[in-house]
Chain A
Amino acid sequence: MENNNKIDFKDLWKQQTISPSNIEDLLSKLKHFKKASLRKIIVVNILLIATSIFIVFIWYTYQPAFISTKIGIIMTILAMLVYLLVYNKLALFYKSIDSNQSNSEYIKKLVAIKTKQQFLQSLVLSMYFILLGSGLSLYMYEYTSRMTILWAIIAYGLTLSWVGFNWFYLRPKAIKKEQDKVNDLIAKFEIVNNQLKEDL
Chain B
Amino acid sequence: MEFENIYKTYWDKIFRLCMGFVNDYDIAQDLAQETFIIVWQKLETFRNESNIGTWIFRIASNNCLRQIEKEKRFPKSELPLHITEEKHYSLEPQIELLYKCIAELPEADRIIISLELEEVRQAEIAKIVGLSEANIRVKIHRIKEKLTQKFKENGK
Interface residues of A (CB under 8 A from B): 2, 4-5, 7, 9-10, 12-19, 21, 23, 26, 29-30, 33, 99-107, 110, 185, 188-189, 191-192, 195-196, 198-200
Contacts and interface: CB of A to CB of B under 8 A. Distances in A.
A159 to B, nearest CB: 39
Given A9-B117, A99-B63, A26 B98 contact: no
B37 interface: yes
B62 A101 contact: yes
Given A19-B32, A185-B69, A4 B15 contact: no
5 contacts: A19-B28, A19-B29, A99-B62, A101-B130, A195-B109
B68 A18 contact: no
A189 B17 CA distance: 20
B134 interface: yes
A106 B57 CA distance: 13
Q: Is the interface of A mostly helix, strand, loop or mixed?
A: helix
Interface of B: 4, 7-8, 11-12, 15-16, 19-20, 25, 28-29, 32-33, 36-38, 40, 42, 45-46, 55, 58-59, 61-63, 65-66, 68-69, 71, 89, 91-92, 94-95, 98-99, 106-109, 111, 114, 117-119, 127-132, 134-135, 138-139, 144-145, 147-148, 151, 156
Contact of A101 (B12, B28, B58, B118): B58
Given A192-B68, A192-B108, A16 B91 contact: yes
Contact of B40 (A15, A30, A103, A191): A30
B16 A16 contact: yes
Nearest to B68: A188
A16 B99 contact: yes
Contacts of B117: 9-10, 13-14
A195 B15 CA distance: 23
B25 A19 contact: yes
Contact of A192 (B38, B107, B156): B107
Nearest to B156: A7
B37 A195 contact: no
A103 B16 contact: no
Contacts of A198: 131-132, 135
A16 B40 CA distance: 25
A120 B7 CA distance: 39
A103 B130 contact: yes
Contact of B11 (A7, A14, A18): A18
A132 to B, nearest CB: 30
Contacts of A23: 4, 7-8
A152 to B, nearest CB: 49
B130 A13 contact: no
B13 to A, nearest CB: 9
Contacts of B109: 195
Contacts of A14: 16, 117
B38 A99 contact: yes
Contacts of A9: 98, 117, 144, 147
Contact of A99 (B42, B131, B134, B145): B42
B33 A18 contact: no
Top 5 closest pairs, chain A to chain B, by CB: A102-B130, A104-B130, A195-B108, A13-B117, A21-B11
